[in-house]
């Protein structure tokens, strides 16, 4: 059964005539996504300090927002966070509340990354930015008040895709985050899963929308086979960071998260998998209207605290 609160939200959006994302231009979709957040997201919790910074890699400037919890008096662990939005929409503001919540509840520094988006910046731009962001945070740990030995990486949806892929790339560089926090991640660019078939229409994220998103991000069909875009297809998932994978039952991406957790487990990587069976894609940012979103945020914060060994 679909969560009644999720059903009520989808009914309301339908009644308001919100156009499907794949019928909009990227600028229109970005504006619509930003505008809806005030309706579904909780009030922004207070944190100790927020810094808007940027770093440069390969001649590109990438903006980041650094959240420090209240009462921080020593070097703290950190989470490098990559927002969702189909590699096309979303920014530092659309996920500000979630990052603040994780910062306060996990009592760690959160570094949100404004990675480059398609279609203006095609694959592998987002992936490159994700890897570079984790490396920059590690290199700047002292200046940012961060313990360099306790830096995690995570994200939701497209951000979960980038976080998972970044862990593969960082492993090959001899680097290892302490946790990969994967919230309903996309792990296959050409999915033929059961959830893709059964949930691909009628539950917010649709097959048409997913095709629009991936079309904006990828350069062509050949990119679907690249592990940097489809981390499920990596030749090995061994020696990756422990994972906390969270999915939603009525999400077309549900099975991709499960498949990835299983791939990690088969490779000997500690992986926890939790599915909110009655929820829809994107629910974790919707705590104003979906109570289970707040439960999911608390679980993610607990997973971070455990990985950081703060309990």
Q: How far apart are CA 80 and CA 98, in angstroms?
A: 13
Per-residue pLDDT of 186-219, as tens digits, reads 999 988 999 999 999 999 999 999 999 999 999 9
195 is a catalytic site residue: no
Q: Is the pLDDT of residue 311 over 50?
A: no
Q: What is the DSSP letter of 59?
A: T
Per-residue pLDDT of 245-282, as tens digits, reads 999 999 999 999 999 999 999 999 999 999 999 999 99
Q: What is the DSSP letter of 78?
A: E
What's the confidence (pLDDT) of residue 207? 95
What's the confidence (pLDDT) of residue 310? 55
Tokens matching residue 207: 């097959």
What's the confidence (pLDDT) of residue 108? 97
Q: Could you say which of 68, 83, 107, 281 is catalytic?
A: 281
Per-residue pLDDT of 72-131, as tens digits, reads 778 999 999 999 999 999 999 999 999 999 999 999 999 999 999 999 999 999 999 999
The pLDDT of 234-250, averaged and rounded, is: 98
The pLDDT of 138-152, averaged and rounded, is: 97
Q: Which residues make Cβ contacts (< 8 Å) with residue 257, sequence separation at least 6?
A: 160, 182, 184, 185, 187, 245, 246, 247, 273, 275
Half-sphere exposure of 78 (CA within 13 A, CB side): 32
Q: Could you say which of 3, 129, 157, 226 is catalytic?
A: 157
Q: Is the pLDDT of residue 158 over 60?
A: yes
Q: What is the mean pLDDT of the chain?
A: 96
What's the confidence (pLDDT) of residue 73? 76
43 is a catalytic site residue: no
251 is a catalytic site residue: yes
Q: How far apart are CA 20 and CA 14, in angstroms?
A: 10
Tokens matching residue 160: 């979960």
């Amino acid at each position: 059964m679909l969560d009644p609160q999720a059903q009520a939200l989808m009914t309301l959006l339908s009644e308001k005539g919100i156009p499907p994302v794949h019928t909009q231009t990227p600028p229109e979709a970005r504006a619509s996504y930003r505008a809806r957040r005030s309706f579904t997201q909780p009030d922004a919790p207070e944190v100790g300090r927020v810094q808007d910074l940027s770093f440069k890699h390969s001649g590109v400037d990438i903006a980041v927002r650094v959240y420090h919890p209240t009462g921080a008096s020593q070097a703290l662990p950190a989470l490098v966070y990559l927002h969702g939005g189909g590699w096309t929409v979303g920014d530092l503001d659309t996920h500000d509340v979630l990052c603040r919540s994780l910062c306060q509840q996990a009592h760690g520094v959160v570094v949100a990354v404004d990675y480059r988006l398609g279609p203006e910046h095609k694959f592998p731009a987002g992936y490159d930015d994700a890897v570079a962001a984790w490396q920059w945070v590690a290199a700047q740990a002292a200046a940012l008040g961060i313990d360099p030995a306790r830096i995690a990486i995570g994200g939701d949806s497209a951000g979960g895709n980038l976080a998972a892929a970044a862990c593969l790339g960082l492993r090959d560089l001899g680097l290892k985050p302490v946790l990969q926090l994967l919230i309903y991640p996309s792990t296959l660019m050409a999915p033929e899963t059961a959830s893709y078939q059964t949930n691909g229409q009628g539950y917010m994220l649709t097959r048409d929308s997913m095709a629009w998103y991936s079309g904006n991000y990828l350069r062509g069909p050949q990119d679907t086979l690249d592990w940097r875009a489809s981390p499920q297809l990596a030749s090995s998932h061994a020696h990756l960071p422990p994972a906390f994978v969270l999915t939603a039952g009525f999400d077309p991406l549900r099975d991709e998260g499960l498949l990835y957790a299983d791939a990690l487990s088969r490779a000997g990587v500690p992986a926890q998998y939790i599915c909110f069976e009655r929820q829809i894609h994107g629910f974790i940012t919707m705590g104003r209207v979906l109570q289970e979103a707040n439960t999911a945020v608390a679980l993610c914060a607990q997973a971070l605290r455990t990985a950081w060994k703060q309990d």
